[in-house]
Structure 1
Amino acid sequence: MGILVGQLLNSREKSLISMPAILILIPSLIKIGGDTGSMLGARLSSAFHMGLGDNIRSNPVVHNSVIAASIVGFVSSISVSILVFLASSFLGYGMPFLTILEISLIAVIIELAVVYSATVAIAFISHRFGMDPDDTVIPFIASLGDLVGVTGIFMALYILNIL
């Protein structure tokens, strides 16, 4: 999936070069989905190993884990937006803070929705078929987070009519 992400970024190279603040934003923003999705996968895997993860719909472990990972994702997104604004302003590539925040939040909403859904599904399917979710979820979700993160950033740029 890494090659696909690279090709996706390469296809918009000229547009991205004209927006240095977005170039600063991309690496940290795409890691949010993969890292928090991996964290969610590890929590679900631990729940399965302890015998707490049988029913996906009424399971408080699943709900609480998704809520905790979402909080981490959104707080990280806001923090990254602040740091990107400060760095881009310091380097003379200023972009309005609200624009950076909007891009970040839209991209993270898209990324977290897709990545967390995939994380829960893969963890439950792995557990159901007798595979260790630690071995199946984290490698796949880390790559998926990069792909969906870049796609989410481009979608946010299109939604906001920036690209």
Structure 2
Amino acid sequence: MSYYTVKGILARGFPILLLTSVIGIFAGQILNIEIEKLISMPIILVLIPALIKIGGDTGSMLGARLSSSFHMGLGSHLRRNPVVRNSVLAALIVGLSACFFVGIVVWITGTILGIGLPFITLMALCLIAGSFELLAVFSATITIAFASHRFGVDPDDTVIPLIATLGDLIGVIGIFVTIHILNII
């Protein structure tokens, strides 16, 4: 049981904490750079927190499932692995459903507050940015989980903190790329 000592936990967790802090600061700076666009379209300010959480949360859910499969000896190969395939499919369904639901809730909120976008535009923003975020985060989740397992690092110690933070960064980037593609602002 020497693996679960205070020193061992700190040694494994502190580098990950430092890395996630830097990534989080970077995501915040992207928001800071784009502050003028955000102020001109306040409904986007309502949308950002909910939409960026979807990628991190579903990616963390996928990471936990993959980590559990490694601990049970079920996830040793990436190709044609039903655990990976079914976990990704379930997380994708949950993530896209959440993006659709967030789009509806934000549209209703924007309509009530008088700061909304047209429904189709807002839904396109949510689904395109959400799809981009989910695909990127799930790819990173699978990569980090398999790399951690392969190099003898417990995926529970790496996947969830990294993916939650990467979800924020990729989500922010995805929202601004989608805003640019749809020419919203």
Partner of 1:106: 128
Matches within 5 A, 1:48-87: 48-87=70-109
Structure 1 residue aligned with 2:41, among 10, 13, 19? 19
Deviation at 1:94, TM superposition (A): 2.1
Q: Distance in 1 between matches of 2:134 and 2:140?
A: 10
Which runs of 4 or more aligned residues in structure 1 lie more than 6 Å from their structure 2 counterparts after TM superposition?
none
2:184 equivalent to 1:162: yes
Question: How many percent of aligned residue pairs carry the same amino acid?
Answer: 63
Structure 2 residue aligned with 1:145, among 163, 167, 181? 167
* Equivalent residue letter for 2:103: S
DSSP-derived class of the 1:90 partner: helix
Q: Distance in 2 between matches of 1:39 and 1:162?
A: 32
Q: Which runs of 5+ in 1 are unaligned?
A: none
Deviation at 1:125, TM superposition (A): 0.8
Q: What is the total number of aligned residue pairs between the two structures? A: 163
DSSP-derived class of the 1:105 partner: helix
TM-score (norm 2): 0.87
Deviation at 1:109, TM superposition (A): 1.2
Q: Distance in 2 between matches of 1:137 and 1:15?
A: 32
* Equivalent residue letter for 1:69: A
Q: Distance in 1 between matches of 2:158 and 2:37?
A: 36
Q: Distance in 1 between matches of 2:180 and 2:51?
A: 17
Q: Distance in 1 between matches of 2:54 and 2:103?
A: 12
Q: Distance in 2 between matches of 1:145 and 1:60?
A: 24
Q: Distance in 2 between matches of 1:44 and 1:94?
A: 39
2:143 equivalent to 1:118: no
Deviation at 1:20, TM superposition (A): 1.2
DSSP-derived class of the 2:110 partner: helix
Deviation at 1:6, TM superposition (A): 1.0
Partner of 2:20: none
- Residues 54-107 of structure 1: CA distance to partner in whole angstroms, max 9, x if unpaired? 110110000000000000100000000000001111111121111110001111
Deviation at 1:116, TM superposition (A): 0.4
* Equivalent residue letter for 1:94: G
CA RMSD of aligned residues (A): 0.7
Structure 1 residue aligned with 2:119, among 97, 102, 112? 97
* Equivalent residue letter for 1:156: T
Q: Distance in 1 between matches of 2:143 and 2:102?
A: 28
Q: Which runs of 5+ in 2 are unaligned?
A: 1-22
Q: Distance in 2 between matches of 1:92 and 1:112?
A: 30
